[in-house]
Structure 1
Amino acid sequence: MDRVLLIDDDVELTTLLKEYLVEEGFDVSTAEDGRAAVGLAISNAVDIVVLDVMMPKMNGIEVLQRIRRSSEVPVLMLTAKGDDADRIAGLNLGADDYVPKPCSPGELAARLRAILRRAAKVAPNAASEVVRAGSLTMRPAGRTVEWRGEPLELTGTEFCLLEVLARDAGRLVSKQEISRRAFGRPLTAFDRRIDVHISSVRQKLGARDDGQPWIQSVRGQGYQLLQDR
């Protein structure tokens, strides 16, 4: 049973979502205060966090920052409809996805399952599979990454995106193909998730000797992971 932590000061909404998710087979705990929720989120007592941006005392962006200092637990942000600034800020800080409020309980459950599937994805019959692209080594079964001989910390979503590019290193991969292979769904218009997560992965990989990023973009087409040897 997947363990979900709902962090939202809207008690009525939280109660509704909790009741629905429990009926869908999730084990749900709740928190109304961001400060109190951080400890729960990083305690390894939950499998995924649903985090509202607008909360008193400590807003969702601050909560996410504190979680990411010590945990890679998947985080789904609840954002105000049309508020691109909060969405982009959350993705840049390591959120795995977002859902605009008000959202239907059914959509939330579907998004949670999709994120959890990505976080647990293992290649069939490949418990010891290793994906290599130059100095990049990825082990899908254990969700571990080494870059130039050193461990590289990635969120679950970042891992999925980089794995797609690593499997086709040196080839331009369209954003539509990336979305289907990494997220299991087609890319929708004005969806910037891939761009924001790729930007984060670029920062973690650092720059090439010529100052260019390891992940190259072709405007309007897609992304390509370069190899160093």
Structure 2
Amino acid sequence: MPAESVRRRVLVVEDDPVINQAVADRLRAEGYDVVRAFDGPGAVAAYGESAPDLVLLDVMLPGFDGHEVCRRIQADRPVPVLMLTARTDEADILVGLGVGADDYLTKPFRMRELVARVAALLRRVERAAELAGRRALELGDLRVDGPARRVWRGEEEVRLTPTEFDLLLCLAATPGAVVTRERLLAEVWGWDGATGTRTVDSHVKGLRAKVGADLVRTAHGVGYALEVPGSTP
């Protein structure tokens, strides 16, 4: 059962009734309050009615797909989204991350891993509040305002997803220093252990596309570093 005294509510969106029921049953057994939906329009409606703390969202849905569901609910208020997908192509995964998903889990998945991902994402929300409380940073032409959760490159404001912002803020705390994938998982996602490093890599690609490829350096086999814009090598 979640350690929090208040029961967290999870919206499960999956068109396969067997998978939907199995996931709902397991989450209820873990102490979560569960709301269920089976298609795109139903998911958006259930989200508005139930105000969940987290959304488990299948990509392939009747009505409109999970990407459109994610886009619509994130426009209402930021909420952690774990996408469930049968697709393993990186381009498809990046689309989900780009519309505001925090993480993804490929089918078939183990219930134990799903529960662990849900708990980690809920911890990430708490960590995000802590990270955002840090002071504003100015690194060359990059400005990061933690409390306001806004980023500028030069005069242009950069629109980041909640996870991309937290990832940037974590890297910006020690500019120039390599931060391991494992530390990023622990700091941003609240995960322990090395599993899930592909999630970090996918989010970094999305971050680079928005703030500039020159800003985030890869230390192959180790992690990433934020380079100060305009600094000499």
Name the TM tier (shorter chain): 0.7 to 0.9
Q: Distance in 1 between matches of 2:46 and 2:122?
A: 18
Q: CA offsets per residue over residues 23-72 of structure 1, 9 Å max, x none?
A: 22212111111122124436781111101122223222332333344442
Secondary structure, counterpart of 2:85 in structure 1: strand
CA distance in 1, matches of 2:63, 2:205: 30
> Paired residue for 2:198, among 192, 215, 227?
192
Does residue 98 of structure 2 align to residue 98 of structure 1?
no
Counterparts of 1:64-213 in structure 2 under 5 Å? 64-80=70-86, 82=88, 84-121=90-127, 122-123=129-130, 129-130=134-135, 132-134=137-139, 135-139=142-146, 144-147=149-152, 153-183=159-189, 184-188=191-195, 191-205=197-211, 207=212, 213=214
Q: Is the 1:33–1:55 contact (alpha carbons within 8 Å) kept by the matching residues of 2?
A: yes
Deviation at 1:138, TM superposition (A): 4.2
Q: Is the 8 A contact 2:94 2:206 kept in 1?
A: no
Question: 2:12 is paired with a residue of what secondary structure?
Answer: strand
C-alpha RMSD over aligned residues? 3.1
| Change beyond 3 A, Cα 1:160–1:129 | closer
Match of 2:63 among 48, 57, 61: 57
After superposition, the Cα gap between the structure-2 partners of 1:91 and 1:129, relative to the gap in structure 1 and judged at 3 Å, is closer
The reply on whether 1:215 has 2:226 as its aligned counterpart is: no
Cα distance, 1:65–1:120 mapped onto 2, change above 3 Å: same
Give the aligned length. Answer: 219
Identity of aligned residues (%): 37
Question: Gaps (5+ residues) in structure 2?
Answer: 1-6
TM-score by length of 2: 0.76
Contact 1:131 1:166 in 2 (8 A): no
Does the aligned pair in 1 maintain the 2:98–2:161 contact within 8 Å? no
CA contact (8 A) 1:65 1:93 kept: yes
- In the TM superposition, residue 147 of structure 1 has moved relative to its aligned partner by 3.2
Could you state the TM-score of these two structures normalised by the residue count of structure 1?
A: 0.78
- Name the stretch that deviates more: 3-12 or 144-153: 144-153
